[in-house]
Amino acid sequence: MNKELLELRSKIKKKKPKFKRQEHKRKGLKDVYRRPRGIRSKIRMRLKGKSRLPSPGYGSPSEVKGLNRNGLREVIVFNRKDLEKVNPDSDIAVISGTVGMKKRIEILELAQKSNIKVQNK
């Protein structure tokens, strides 16, 4: 069932448009979404032929929210104690970028012993 939901999520994501701000062609403005608020805004009124607004219909199924492409939940690990909270069947460990090399090696060795997958080795 999880695989079917992951495939459904990828289909929804492919159909989802890139939401841009109303005047996205202006040079000084960044390509970040801002809600249209103008009184005569065609996009705010959702007129046909204008760009789409974000809505709940573009969202992923709630069962697969927060999962990566393989269907595993990513858990950020800072130390050895955090690694104990990771479930090897349904989770994958991601070692934080602020962890140094010495502690990183410790975490990797402990993960290998307990059969925990690590995303960024």
Q: What number of other Cβ atoms are within 10 A of residue 66's Cβ?
A: 9
Convert the pLDDT of each residue in 17-63 to its tens digit.
999 888 877 888 888 899 999 999 999 999 999 999 999 999 999 99
Query: Phi/psi class of residue 105: alpha, beta or left (left: φ > 0; alpha: ψ in -120 to 50)?
Result: alpha
Would you list the domain boundaries of the chain? Answer: 73-113
Encode 4-43: b = buried (16+ Cβ within 10 Å), e = exposed.
ebbeebeeeeeeeeeeebbeeeeeeeeeeeeebeeeeeeb
Unique residue bearing structure tokens 């992923």: 60
pLDDT digits (tens, 9 = 90+) for 86-120: 999 999 999 999 999 999 999 999 999 999 999 99
Q: What is the pTM of this model?
A: 0.69
At 60-93, the pLDDT tens digits run 999 998 899 889 999 999 999 999 999 999 999 9
